[in-house]
Amino acid sequence: MSTFLNIQTIYKFNKFKKDHPEIPIILEEIEERDVTAKIHETSYDLFIMRDKCHGLEHLHKIKLYDDELIALAPKSSALKSKCSIKDLANYELLLMPRYTAIAEATIDKCLELGFKPNIKRHGRIETIIHAAKNNEGIAITTKKSLHIFHLDGLKAIQITDKVQLGIYIYYDLQAKNIKFINELLSYIKPIEQ
């Protein structure tokens, strides 16, 4: 997986592991840029990734849940609790790494709205959160990725432009472990099947 899972999904994975100790489950976080290489490793039965992840087009996908962009700004920022991405045109932006669906969606939305984003830095989520706390710019990430971080000194700003970034489960319908995959899916209960 290349994304932080929301708390409810982690709970469902843990419940599945407890109820099915005979089925080994190992969650491994990998970078989106490494997915193409990992696809051909037989040790992976499924991937949990954001939409628009390149290299998984040949796999079946079902939506696990929706997520959306959110801005993080220092509490001293003049930004209100809601803003458009266009309202951020004059701010320095702190984005996830270039190869991520989050950065790609943010940049695409800026260009769609008629401006080139002023990107100060690309970095992992913990890096851009820390940079926002230090007044280096406005961090753009996804709402459901924030549950494990301390956001002291920051305010979360709802982005009114709807940029949905669904979280999907990708798997091969012909996988040798399809029975176990289907059992896991019955626990996780994706929003779309």
Domains and CATH numbers, the chain: 7-66+166-188 (3.40.190), 69-159 (3.40.190.10)
Structure tokens at 115: 């401006």
pLDDT band at 175 (very low <50, low <70, confident <90, very high): confident
pLDDT band at 193 (very low <50, low <70, confident <90, very high): very low
Give the count of alpha carbons within 13 A of 139, CB side only. 29
Q: Compare 33 and 168 and report the one with higher pLDDT.
A: 168
Q: What percent of the chain has pLDDT over 70?
A: 89
pLDDT at 40: 67
Structure tokens at 185: 């899916």
Beta-carbon neighbour count of residue 187 at 10 Å?
Answer: 16
Model confidence pLDDT, tens digit, residues 41-87: 667 788 888 776 667 788 898 988 888 999 999 999 999 999 999 99
Whose CA is closest to 3, among 45, 25, 35, 40? Answer: 35
pLDDT at 3: 53
Whose CA is closest to 45, among 147, 170, 188, 186? Answer: 170
pLDDT band at 13 (very low <50, low <70, confident <90, very high): confident
Model confidence pLDDT, tens digit, residues 85-136: 999 999 999 999 998 889 999 999 999 999 999 999 999 999 999 999 999 9
pLDDT at 42: 60
